[in-house]
Amino acid sequence: EPEVTQTPSHQVTQMGQEVILRCVPISNHLYFYWYRQILGQKVEFLVSFYNNEISEKSEIFDDQFSVERPDGSNFTLKIRSTKLEDSAMYFCASSEEDGTPLHFGNGTRLTVT
């Protein structure tokens, strides 16, 4: 069964550094998402992306965050200058059509020191 893949599985970075989290959504999916889960807390929506543009974003997704689909297969989340509170598990997800369930990757654990 096709799956969403995320790399790396664990990223450690120093505060203030830029990080790029990478995702390869399922190939025929058109809608892409990033969610995050801070340890012990709930899964939070960050951003959705469709037709090469952001369709919706949460208040968490401030100017430090950006997303990009640089080619036909990758979907990236960039955090420009990481903060300690950005430490979380970041999940990429994709869906085939509007309104269909999301398929999640296994996540990237980001640790900011």
Partner 1 sequence: DQQVKQNSPSLSVQEGRISILNCDYTNSMFDYFLWYKKYPAEGPTFLISISSIKDKNEDGRFTVFLNKSAKHLSLHIVPSQPGDSAVYFCAASASGGTSYDKVIFGPGTSLSVIP
Given candidates 17, 55, 81, 113, which one binds partner 1 under the rule CB under 8 A?
55
Q: How wide is the angle at C-alpha 91 spanned by C-alphas 38 and 34, nearest 5°?
A: 100
42 binds partner 1 (CB under 8 A): yes
Find the part of the chain contacting partner 1 (CB under 8 A) among 14-22, 29-37, 61-69, 73-81: 29-37
Tokens of 77: 């989340």
- What does the block give as tokens for 101? 């369930």
Burial of 4 (0-12, 13-18, 19+ CB in 10 A): buried
Residue type, 78: K
Window of 14-22, 63-71, 75-83, 95-103 that interacts with partner 1 by CB under 8 A: 95-103
Q: Does 64 bind partner 1 (CB under 8 A)?
A: no
Measured between its terminal Cα atoms, the distance across the chain in Å is 37
Q: Is 106 in the site for partner 1 (CB under 8 A)?
A: yes
Among 19, 26, 67, 93, binds partner 1 (CB under 8 A): 93
